[in-house]
A and B are shown apart, each in its own frame.
Chain A
């Protein structure tokens, strides 16, 4: 690795770590339970779109979650001093049995060193005609643009 490449790498890393931001973005990867039993292992290589989730957290502690499972969700995150947090909200919940409005809760933990790592368990309950659907996912990820 040349010094020039190293400088570019350091600058990009500092950009992600120190940019004044209006929120941060977490990219999660991990298997979801889609209603056909428990989750299958994470895909290797990690190219299965079902495993991915994007969470945008605003400065007001509201968050948008986008994934195929459990779905498109909007909620509020309460952060604890220990670095853990709990989120709750509502949105469109999806699993193999259908899609419908519902609620979600999430438990997560952030740890920032030279990168910010995150682990989160998210569960949702959705309402479709005749039944409740219950997708969930345990995912790990990286947090970007955290100030």
Chain B
């Protein structure tokens, strides 16, 4: 079998032809993967975004954003909040992976329990020629995620939700023994689309 590039009657040059073949190959592979994924995905899933207010143990709420992925009772969402004051930049990222179950009180209420992963980042950057005074610190923690959420469908595919989530982290090595914890609390409003 001859190469399609050599046999092609209007090829400009072999390199350009092979690029076209490669592109068509990638397109066909991606199309196959996407169609397999879409056809094979028996469970409906939804994605959404929202606005959050995050409290970090000091009775002060900081605005943030949220993105979420939900499939059946599985729920994963990412919360992010940051602030900048003077040379200091702080950010808090929380990833929660939870399983949800309906609360018998109402068909709109769902409780979620699972794990939470925390990233806290602090940067101090002075506008000086000497960067030796600049500092950067990133901390991680693993804890428990607990949430109570209200979910209501506006249409068949669009839903609205409000929630009150908390993340408990052990405070130090002895935190689990002495029940000493740190907590991030999030109140959010969001909406999502079912696919």
Using a CB–CB cutoff of 8 Å, the interface residues on chain A facing chain B are 30-31, 33, 35, 37-42, 76, 78, 80, 84, 86, 88, 95, 97, 105, 107, 121, 123, 125, 131-134, 136, 138-140
Partner of B181, one of A38, A78, A125, A134: A38
- The winner among B103, B146, B181 for most chain A CB atoms within 10 A is B181
Q: In this assembly, does B104 line the interface, its C-beta being within 8 Å of a C-beta of chain A?
A: yes
Q: How far is the CB of A137 from chain B (nearest CB, A)?
A: 9
In the complex, how many residues of chain B place their beta carbon closer than 8 angstroms to a beta carbon of chain A?
Answer: 25
CB-CB under 8 A from A131, the residues of chain B are 59
Write out, one digit per residue, whether chain B residues 171-195 have a CB within 8 A of any chain A CB (1) or not (0): 1001000111111010000000000
- B 101-115 to A, binary, CB cutoff 8 A, 1 in contact else 0: 101110000010100
Q: Is the CB of B179 within 8 A of A136?
A: no
B174–A41 touching, CB < 8 Å: yes
B residues neighboring A (CB under 8 Å):
55, 57-59, 61, 101, 103-105, 111, 113, 146, 148, 164, 166, 168, 171, 174, 178-183, 185
Cα of A38 to Cα of B101 in the assembled complex, Å: 29
Say whether, besides A38-B171, A78-B104, A138-B168, A97 and B178 are in contact (CB < 8 Å): no
Chain B CB count within 10 A is highest, among A35, A84, A105, A131, for A105
Q: Which of A39, A80, A134, A138 contacts B185 (CB 8 A)?
A: A134
Given A131-B59, A136-B166, does the pair A42, B178 have CB atoms closer than 8 Å? yes
Nearest-Cβ distance from residue B176 to partner chain A, whole angstroms: 10
Show 27 residue pairs from A and B whose CB-CB distance is below 8 angstroms, ordered by the A residue: A33-B57, A33-B181, A35-B59, A37-B58, A38-B57, A40-B180, A41-B179, A41-B180, A42-B178, A42-B179, A78-B103, A78-B105, A80-B101, A84-B113, A86-B103, A86-B111, A86-B148, A88-B148, A107-B113, A107-B146, A121-B166, A123-B164, A123-B166, A131-B59, A138-B181, A139-B179, A140-B179
Which B residues touch A31, using CB under 8 A? 178-180
Chain B residue contacts of A136, Cβ below 8 A: 166, 183, 185
Q: How far is the CA of A35 from the CA of B146 in the complex (A)?
A: 20
Return A17 CB to nearest CB of chain B, in Å: 26
Residue contact A105 to B59, C-beta cutoff 8 Å: no
The residue on A at minimum CB distance from B60 is: A131
